[in-house]
């Protein structure tokens, strides 16, 4: 199945386009029936865990065009049916089986009670960034998570509007790096994707710079990049090379990274971060706590957004029943519907040439279906 056209459209869509159409509900449903549910069913994860039961944990290792899809978010989310990945398993990602094995064999950082000097958390907020829109919730995000981190026994340093060299310097002694600000995924050269520090126009904090750092000796635990597109590589020719900020952090030595596949909501970043650090406070700096914390946080935001959507009389529901597991013709037909929503005339199996986008209908007002899907971009990469 050639989905190259879909991927090209997906990686170039802005937040408004993503969240004012039926695109995301359609895409996530297609991913569920065509990819995720067959895998989970094969593994025996056919229903949500029982109340209070242990959640299974699965690592996705996508290749090719699949690296651009939010497999962790696949499903039919309009009703509480359990027909979603996140209602059956905890999801993480890895670059390869070898890298996953290597990460899990590595030593965890010592707990605060076992260390002579308490571990450090370096917290950066960028409410105002040169040549970028302001982020009014960036400072709020840090003030929300700071007491939670301190309650874990870590000392915290909060810097606002920091420059690149200071971030790199402070990373060297940090168990946790939390960056709340803008991020950019470079369209042609993924090594130049960067976090936007105060001096980013002249001294950017790029993937290339991060990959040159060597922090393994200090065993940094978590890089939480609360920024847009920190897990994205927009160059299709380099899709399998895993050249993006999350990979750069892990090459530098971070055991875990929490990042975003595309643009994120400034306000919802606060809620997701709170949920992650609440779990870390409760369970400690363990591998499972990071993935479980993000899973709990995104499910909570998903449920909250879905409730608001329903109360406002909007709907994320697909009007027709969608169930085409094992039927390739139905899968192709459903994916063509996704293309039509994007305004792309593409018969799968043909030459898949891209056309200019055209309106799907005559109503100029956007159909606001996707407030329920603002949680989708966040994902965990690590051990």
> Does a structural domain hold residue 155?
yes
Tokens 């939480």 map to which residue?
Answer: 224
Per-residue model confidence (pLDDT) at position 8: 73
Q: In this structure, are 75 and 186 located in the same domain?
A: no
- Asked whether residue 270 falls in the same domain as residue 324, the answer is no
Q: Does residue 355 sit in the same domain as residue 241?
A: no
248, part of any domain: yes
Q: How far is CA 316 from CA 21, 198, 299, 313, 365, in A?
A: 10, 39, 16, 10, 17
Look-up of token digits 């549910």: 37
Residues 184 and 52 in one domain: no
CA angle (96 as vertex; 223, 265 as ends), nearest 5: 40
Q: Is residue 319 part of a domain?
A: yes
Residue 158 has pLDDT above 90, yes or no: yes
Q: Between residues 177 and 113, which one has the greater pLDDT? A: 177
Q: Mark out the alpha helices in 152-197 (DSSP H runs).
A: 164-171
Note whether 234 and 280 are same-domain residues.
Answer: yes
**Burial, 349: exposed, middle or buried (Cβ in 10 Å; 0-12, 13-18, 19+)?**
exposed
Give yes or no: residues 257 and 334 share one domain: no
Q: What is the mean pLDDT of residues 197-214?
A: 90
Supply angle C-alpha 160, 165, 166, rounded to 5. 40
Query: Among the three residues 231, 262, 293, which one is the final residue of a domain in this structure?
Result: 293
Distance between CA atoms of residues 377 and 262, nearest Å: 6
* 261 shares a domain with 156: yes
Average pLDDT, the chain: 80
Residues 209 and 329 placed together within one structural domain of the fold = no
| Residue 165 located in a structural domain | yes
Kindly state whether residue 373 falls inside one of the protein's structural domains: no
Lowest pLDDT segment from 71-75, 143-147, 281-285, 340-344: 340-344
Taking the alpha carbons of 117, 253, 268, 84 in that order, is the dihedral positive or negative? negative
- In a domain? residue 81: yes
Mean pLDDT for 242-259 is 82
The reply to whether 319 and 286 lie within a common domain is no
One domain for residues 123 and 271: yes
Instruction: Report the percentage of the chain scoring pLDDT > 70.
Output: 72
* 16 and 74 in a common domain: yes
Q: Give the phi and the psi of residue 106 in degrees, each rounded to 5.
A: -70, 155
pLDDT at 117 over 80: no
Rounded average pLDDT over 113-122: 74
Let me know the angle formed at the C-alpha of 88 by 86 and 90, rounded to the nearest 5 degrees: 55
Number of folded domains that form the chain: 2
Contact 264, 378 (CB under 8 A): yes
* pLDDT at 282 > cutoff 50: yes
Query: Is residue 184's pLDDT more than 80?
Result: yes
330 φ/ψ angles, rounded to the nearest 5 degrees: -70, -35
In a domain, 218, yes or no: yes
Tens digit of each residue's pLDDT (9 = 90 or more) over 300-342: 999 988 776 555 544 545 444 455 555 555 555 656 666 565 5
Q: What is the extent of the structural domain holding 281?
A: 119-293
Name the helix (H) or strand (E) containing 310.
helix 287-311
User: What confidence tens digit (pLDDT) does each residue in 58-110 have?
Assistant: 999 998 888 889 999 999 987 788 999 999 999 999 988 988 888 887 766 65
Give domain status of residue 63, yes or no: yes
CATH assignment at residue 202 = 3.40.50.1460
Please check whether residues 75 and 126 belong to one and the same domain: no
- Name the residue with tokens 């904090």: 205
pTM of the predicted model, to two decimals?
Answer: 0.82
């Amino acid at each position: 199945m050639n989905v190259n056209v879909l991927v090209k459209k997906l990686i170039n869509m802005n937040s408004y386009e993503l969240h004012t159409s039926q695109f995301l509900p359609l895409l996530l449903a297609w991913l569920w029936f065509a990819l995720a549910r067959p895998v989970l069913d094969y593994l025996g994860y056919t229903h949500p865990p029982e109340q209070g039961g242990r959640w299974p944990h699965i690592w996705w290792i996508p290749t090719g065009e699949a690296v651009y899809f939010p497999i962790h978010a696949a499903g039919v989310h309009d009703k509480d049916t359990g027909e979603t990945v996140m209602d059956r398993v905890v999801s993480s990602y890895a670059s390869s089986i070898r890298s996953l094995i290597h990460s899990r064999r590595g030593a965890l950082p010592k707990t605060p009670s076992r260390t002579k000097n308490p571990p450090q958390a370096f917290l950066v907020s960028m409410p105002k960034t040169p040549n970028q829109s302001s982020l009014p919730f960036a400072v709020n995000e840090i003030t929300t998570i700071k007491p939670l981190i301190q309650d874990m026994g870590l000392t915290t340093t909060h810097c606002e509007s920091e420059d690149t060299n200071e971030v790199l310097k402070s990373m060297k002694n940090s168990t946790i790096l939390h960056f709340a600000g803008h991020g950019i995924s470079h369209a042609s050269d993924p090594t130049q994707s960067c976090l936007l520090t105060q001096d980013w126009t002249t001294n950017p904090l790029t993937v290339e710079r991060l990959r040159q750092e060597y922090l393994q000796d200090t065993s940094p635990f978590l890089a939480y990049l609360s920024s847009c597109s920190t897990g994205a590589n927009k160059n299709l020719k380099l899709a399998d090379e895993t050249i993006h900020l999350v990979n750069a952090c892990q090459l530098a030595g971070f055991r875990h990274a929490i990042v975003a596949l595309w643009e994120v909501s400034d306000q919802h970043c606060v809620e997701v971060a709170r949920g992650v650090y609440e779990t870390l406070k409760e369970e400690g700096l363990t591998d499972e706590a990071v993935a479980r914390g993000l899973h709990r946080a995104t499910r909570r935001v998903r449920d909250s957004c879905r409730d608001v959507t329903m109360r406002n009389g909007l709907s994320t529901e697909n009007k027709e029943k969608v169930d085409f597991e094992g039927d390739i013709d139905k899968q192709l037909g459903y994916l063509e519907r996704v293309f039509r929503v994007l305004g792309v005339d593409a018969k799968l199996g043909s030459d898949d040439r891209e056309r200019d986008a055209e309106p799907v209908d005559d109503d100029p007002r956007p159909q606001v279906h996707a407030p329920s899907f603002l949680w989708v971009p966040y994902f965990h990469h690590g051990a």
